[in-house]
Structures are given as C-alpha cells and as structure tokens.
Structure 1
C-alpha cells in the first residue's frame, strides 16, 4: 500500500454525479501523483465504482497497484425505475446484507468480474458494526479461506464504529482495518484503544474519512459544510474554524494539517482520501507532500483542540 490512497466512493457518484471520463481522469491523476492504493466497494454506486476503477486501471501494470474492495452486501437485481438514495445512479439493484460463507464468496467473485481482475489485493468486511457476531464468526473465516486459496490478499474490516473495530482486531488479528473518520484532526476516538490494539496485533490501519466528509477539506470552515455526510453542527464548525486559525498562525492550512495528522500515528500505513475531480486529486497529493511545521501540533494541544502530538 502506498502511504496515500484513493477512496473511490466518488467514482460511484456519491452525492455528485461524475462522468465516465471524469472518473478515468480521477484515477489517472492519482496514478500520476504516485498513488497505487485504490479502495472501492460494491456499495459504491451499486457496482459503478468498481466497474469504473477496473476500466481506468486496465492496461496498467497489475503488480504495481493494490486494489481493495469489500464484502457484506450483495447486489440483487430489482425491477425498478427509481434512483438510489446515497449514490446518484439508477436503482437497478438492492443491497442485501450477507455475511455468510456463500455470500462472501459470491461478493468477491462479482467484484472481481466488475473490476476485471483475477485477485483482490485487500478484502474488507464492510460496515458490520450492527452484525459483528456474523462478521467475526462467518465472514472473516470465509475470507481466511479465500486468502489461503490466493483469491484475496490482505483481509480485515472497515467501519466508522470504534468499539466494533477494536473487538474485531482483538478477536481476529486481521491484516488490516479501515477506520472511517474516527482518527482525524477534529476527533480521535480511535486513539484510546483501537490504535494500540492494532499495534499489538500487527494490524495495519488504513485511515479514511480524514476530512470528516468535507468539514476539514476547506481552509476556512463555514456553515453548510458536511460532517459524516450530514450538515455539520454549529459547534463542530466552530471547533474546525478554531483549528484553522491555529494552522494559519503557523503557516499551514486546515486541509494540509488534516492529512498530515491522519498519517501521523505509527499504526497508520495509508491515508485514504477521495476526490470528485482530477484537480482535487492533485490538490490532495500536494497537501500530503507538504508537511506542516511541528509547532502547529503543540499549539493545537495547548489550545485543547487535539489530544496529542502525532508521531
């Protein structure tokens, strides 16, 4: 995994519709910036993200990139003419929770077909916090089998739920976990138990949602931005603005500090950042490469805005 990865939910038209050409341009810009880790899921656009990612990576050296997708939801065709609620795509399928061995194997097989690959480098159990027993008792052993067969490489889970992720790491000792929005410049609930558990288990952490879905992506936070894909509450906007003020006084920006902080814990191997345009990819890569001055961290700690200085 490269230390900067591309989250591919936007390739599935997450809240914003992008064209096939724009999707390819996003992946091309990431590749040009040195990104070689790409994370997708059947959930993203009812398979659209996987199809677009596979098409954009076609012809590139397979051994030079790491492709991650997810299990836990299978896509069942439906006879409908509506629109999906989360992604701007036709509602041609419905998502059905399935953590069974058969469901996991089917999900991987269908993802490989959409991606036009013969192997997943990373396979994660997706958003299983409400069905943790099934994820741990059924889905994870199925992934262990697939890993032994060479169908998938690294295995683990991804969620925004810290107690679930901590339990999963302690009981399964997975290769990797994807933490979504829970170790960011705005909040660090993963710091107390999850990240130490990952270090103890030798589990690498992919840190996603580092902008908390938008609030930390702007130099000057304001009302109307999103936090966890909903309108950010006034107190969160105020807190983000206070962090931005400290960043400005130390010669950096809120987005640059957000990416650097997210990468700073020793358990974190990859920071995963999404983009809905090639320009955003290039901006994020530039931010990732521009390290904020160390003084900003101690200033944020002194102001009570973060709990600890990143490593």
Structure 2
C-alpha cells in the first residue's frame, strides 16, 4: 500500500456560472495557450522566461485558464486526477449560489474518497444557520465560506449568525483568503474581490476562538505574509494550494507542523505540482510529509477546539 494523501481543498461543479456539469462524462478542457501550466511545472516559481512578460498578459492568460478548468470540474475528471496522482481522499468544498451541499453529498455516495463540506446559503436569510447545522447532521464534515464568489463580507452579521450556530457542531471552517478577480471586467458583478480581505479573515478567526479555521491558499500569492500575524492563533490552519515550497516552509516554521494542510484547489490547481512542492518543503522528512499530506487533515476533522 502506498502513502496516504488527503487533499483538503477541492471542488466539483461549475462554481462560476452554475452549469450542470458535475456528473457529466467525457468533459475536456478547451485547448489554448496559458502560462499557468508553465508556472505549475516550475513548482509555482516564475520561470526565467517570464521576467519580461507583461503582468497584465500573464493575469489575462491565468484567468482564461482558470475559467477553462472550472468547466472541467466533473466527478469523472476528479477521479481520474486522483487516480493519476495517488490521492487517497479529498475534501470537496461547495460554493453557493451555484454548487451546494446536496450535490457534493451525492458525489460522495458515488466515491467514498470524497468528504463533503457544506456552504452558507445566504438566500435563506434567517434559516441559513439551521440549514448548515442540518447539513452537518447529514454528513457535512466542515463549512466553506467564499466571500468573493458569495459576495458577502466575512465580518458581516449574516456570517456571524451562521458561525454562532455552526460553532455547536465542532467542525472546521475553510475560508478563501486574499483578493482575487474570477471574472473579466464585463462580468465583474458576479464577484466581490475586495471581500477576500486577509485582515478581515484574521479578525473573524479571533472572534470565534472555538472554531477551527483554515485559511485557503495561505493568504495568497503576494499577501501570504499577512497571515503570519495569526501564527499564535491556535484555531488557525492553512492549506498549501498555489504556494511554492519556500512559502510552505515558512508556514511550517511559523505555524508549526500540525497546522499546515496539503491542498490543491482542484480543478483550479492541478494536483501534481502541490505534491512535489510539499515533498520539497519537507526536505525528505517522511514524518513531516505524513503530517502535511494527511495526518493534520484527519486530526482536524476529529478535533474539537
């Protein structure tokens, strides 16, 4: 039996536009030139040939590629990627209003490697809190909040009310961190990039010390150092998605080996590069690798703060 790897950050379904794709067969990504694959091939470090590349050109290319990957988020494609990269388990994070708990729960019934999470349905108003607690009772292992795509500030009263109810479940919360635009300017109304505030996320973590939070992407490509202020918050964890080994190493140093989780953000991130990056960050320490690859994830789902 090979090593165990739990991906703590994955998605199914069209979280951008809500097209019905999760259970479709033989869905392939459209071919087009993109720089993101080159970045991943270089373990999330900018290749030398990118030195003179216009940042706007790179951003446009990356956005096009991410949207293309979003449209491939089918169960069949997820299973193929997990098989190829020997991923033994994955947390699937729904993002409303387009993908909800019931959809990822159904997928988990078809593949036991999937651990379903739930998401706050703000359209339910006061009933949103009751719904996520019911989801937890039905098998949701955690809660996902995406302030940008859900267009809701982390410090809003709606989020606070939901978390007051969720706190009783003892289950973790995964939040997107850092500001990022998921759409071209003509569709900017579909998201609220400013809601991905790292300072707001840290404030939320401090307001709910009895909830374990995971800061997705370690605070982002350029703003990860903002999360260092949370190093002493024992209820704050991070995942490794889209970070190079140097940043993963720094979080292991500052947060400790028990608060860093392996994550890829599949299909937005491919699963091969993050595996190489964690191996490099751990420097051959197999026990540390085991902690990041699966032990921390397993313990987080078992632990209550």
**Is the 1:7–1:39 contact (alpha carbons within 8 Å) kept by the matching residues of 2?**
yes
- How far apart in 1 are the matches of 2:5 and 2:75? 26
Question: Greater helix share, 1 or 2?
Answer: 2
1:274 partner SS: coil
1:38 to 91, 99, 121: 91
Q: What is the deviation of 1:203?
A: 0.3
Q: Identify if the C-alpha distance between structure 1 residues 70 and 178 changes in structure 2 by more than 3 Å, giving closer, same or farther.
A: farther
**Match runs of 1:96-135 below 5 Å:** 96=123, 98=125, 100=126, 102-107=127-132, 109=134, 118-127=138-147, 128-129=152-153, 131-135=155-159
Q: What are the Cα deviations for residues 275-299 of structure 1, in whole angstroms up to 9, with x where unaligned? A: 3399x323422332233769xxxxx
**Match runs of 1:1-311 below 5 Å:** 5-9=7-11, 11-12=13-14, 15-16=67-68, 17-18=71-72, 19-29=74-84, 32-34=86-88, 36-43=89-96, 46-47=98-99, 51=103, 54-55=106-107, 58-60=110-112, 66-71=115-120, 73-74=121-122, 96=123, 98=125, 100=126, 102-107=127-132, 109=134, 118-127=138-147, 128-129=152-153, 131-136=155-160, 138-145=161-168, 147=169, 153-156=170-173, 158-160=175-177, 161-181=197-217, 183=219, 186-196=222-232, 198=233, 202-207=234-239, 210-211=241-242, 255-266=244-255, 268-276=259-267, 280-291=270-281
Q: Which structure 1 segments of 5+ residues have no match?
A: 75-95, 148-152, 217-254, 295-311
Q: Identify if the C-alpha distance between structure 1 residues 189 and 59 changes in structure 2 by more than 3 Å, giving closer, same or farther.
A: closer
**Is the 1:275–1:281 contact (alpha carbons within 8 Å) kept by the matching residues of 2?**
yes
**Is the 1:125–1:140 contact (alpha carbons within 8 Å) kept by the matching residues of 2?**
no
- How far apart in 1 are the matches of 2:101 and 2:78? 9
When structure 1 is superposed on structure 2, of 120-129 and 169-178 the one drifting more is 120-129
**Is the 1:26–1:277 contact (alpha carbons within 8 Å) kept by the matching residues of 2?**
no
Q: Identify if the C-alpha distance between structure 1 residues 166 and 20 changes in structure 2 by more than 3 Å, giving closer, same or farther.
A: closer
**Is the 2:213–2:236 contact (alpha carbons within 8 Å) kept by the matching residues of 1?**
yes
TM-score by length of 1: 0.51
- How far apart in 1 are the matches of 2:81 and 2:105? 10
Q: Which structure 2 segments of 5+ residues have no match?
A: 17-66, 178-196, 285-305
Q: How many residue pairs align between the two structures?
A: 203
Q: What is the deviation of 1:176?
A: 1.7
1:106 partner SS: helix
Q: What is the deviation of 1:97?
A: 7.4
Higher radius of gyration, 1 or 2: 1
RMSD of aligned residue pairs (Cα, Å): 3.9
Q: What is the deviation of 1:193?
A: 2.7
Q: What is the deviation of 1:156?
A: 3.6
Q: Identify if the C-alpha distance between structure 1 residues 20 and 10 changes in structure 2 by more than 3 Å, giving closer, same or farther.
A: closer
Q: Identify if the C-alpha distance between structure 1 residues 281 and 124 changes in structure 2 by more than 3 Å, giving closer, same or farther.
A: closer
Which residue is equivalent to 1:221?
A: none
Q: What are the Cα deviations for residues 206-231 of structure 1, in whole angstroms up to 9, with x where unaligned? A: 336x42xxxx6xxxxxxxxxxxxxxx
Which residue is equivalent to 1:223?
A: none
Higher RCO, Cα 8 Å, sep 6+: 2
- How far apart in 2 are the matches of 1:257 and 1:204? 20
